[in-house]
């Protein structure tokens, strides 16, 4: 039995994933996730999506105090927030570009504040610089999602000495990989952040795709 036969609404899983990672304007991203929001939590199991579990298990090893101010970037329906709350974190805010995803997240009662905004689109952020001890993001950075250039905005939200950590698929080889590497090097060489550890590779992020967990400290 193929994966496709398991899905009713989605149809062809591979085509759906391809659309998910296709570079597109913010309105199209919001349409894509907006029409997925209601069924997202049950349908991600079709892809064997393990992101929230993997990132929070890796985050636990960083020993961040429970009173840390945390922003969950691309929080979606709130599955990272649920796990962080179970771990004892209380001060968690959610940011996402898709209103309908945030509406589902709101029902989970784990977040304090909600920010409906697209990063990397030149919008002015309502978040004061230096607000958070931690910015965490799972499955939200890269093609079809938050552009790497938005690391500047994410850095601004974080306090000096705070952490920026994310788990996502590796950039595709070529222009995408080049832009990721250039930005990482630029921010590192300009003393904006430094790596806390080597990226950790997780083999089963979704389906058979691997993902890397990065942790950077704002300098």
* Site residues (vs ligand SAM, CB under 6 A): 29, 33, 51-52, 74-76, 79-80, 96-98, 101, 118-120, 138-140, 145-146
Q: Which is nearer to ligand SAM, 80 or 158 (CB)?
A: 80
Q: Could you tell me the smallest distance in angstroms from the CB atom of residue 99 to ligand SAM? A: 9
Give the H/E segment covering residue 58: helix 51-60
Q: Which is nearer to ligand SAM, 13 or 146 (CB)?
A: 146
| C-alpha–C-alpha distance, residues 204 and 103, integer Å | 28
| C-alpha–C-alpha distance, residues 162 and 217, integer Å | 6
Q: Which is nearer to ligand SAM, 28 or 66 (CB)?
A: 28
Q: Could you tell me the smallest distance in angstroms from the CB atom of residue 189 to ligand SAM? A: 25
Q: Could you tell me the smallest distance in angstroms from the CB atom of residue 8 to ligand SAM? A: 20
Indicate the residue whose CB is closest to ligand SAM. 76
Provide the 10 A C-beta neighbour count for residue 135.
Answer: 28
Q: Could you tell me the smallest distance in angstroms from the CB atom of residue 191 to ligand SAM? A: 26
| C-alpha–C-alpha distance, residues 125 and 177, integer Å | 27
With b for 16 or more beta-carbon neighbours within 10 A and e for fewer, the 83-97 pattern comes to: bbbeeebebbbbbbb
Q: Which is nearer to ligand SAM, 86 or 194 (CB)?
A: 86
Provide the 10 A C-beta neighbour count for residue 113.
Answer: 13
């Amino acid at each position: 039995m193929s994966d496709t036969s398991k899905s009713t609404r989605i149809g062809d899983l591979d085509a759906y994933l391809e659309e998910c990672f296709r570079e597109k304007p913010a309105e199209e991203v919001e349409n894509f996730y907006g029409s997925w929001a209601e069924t997202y939590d049950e349908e991600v199991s079709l892809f064997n999506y393990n992101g929230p579990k993997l990132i929070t298990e890796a985050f636990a090893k960083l020993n961040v105090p429970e009173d840390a101010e945390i922003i969950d970037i691309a929080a979606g329906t709130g599955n990272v927030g649920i796990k962080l709350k179970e771990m004892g974190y209380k001060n968690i805010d959610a940011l996402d570009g898709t209103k309908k995803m945030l509406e589902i997240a709101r029902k989970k009662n784990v977040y304090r504040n909600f920010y409906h905004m697209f990063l990397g689109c030149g919008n002015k952020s309502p978040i004061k610089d230096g607000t958070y001890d931690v910015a965490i993001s799972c499955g939200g950075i890269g093609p079809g999602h938050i552009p790497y250039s938005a690391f500047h905005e994410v850095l601004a939200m974080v306090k000096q000495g705070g952490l920026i950590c994310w788990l996502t698929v590796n950039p595709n080889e070529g222009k995408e990989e080049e832009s990721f590497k250039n930005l990482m090097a630029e921010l590192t060489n300009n003393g904006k952040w430094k790596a806390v550890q080597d990226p950790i590779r997780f083999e089963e992020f979704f389906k058979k795709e691997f993902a890397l967990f990065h942790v950077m400290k704002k300098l």
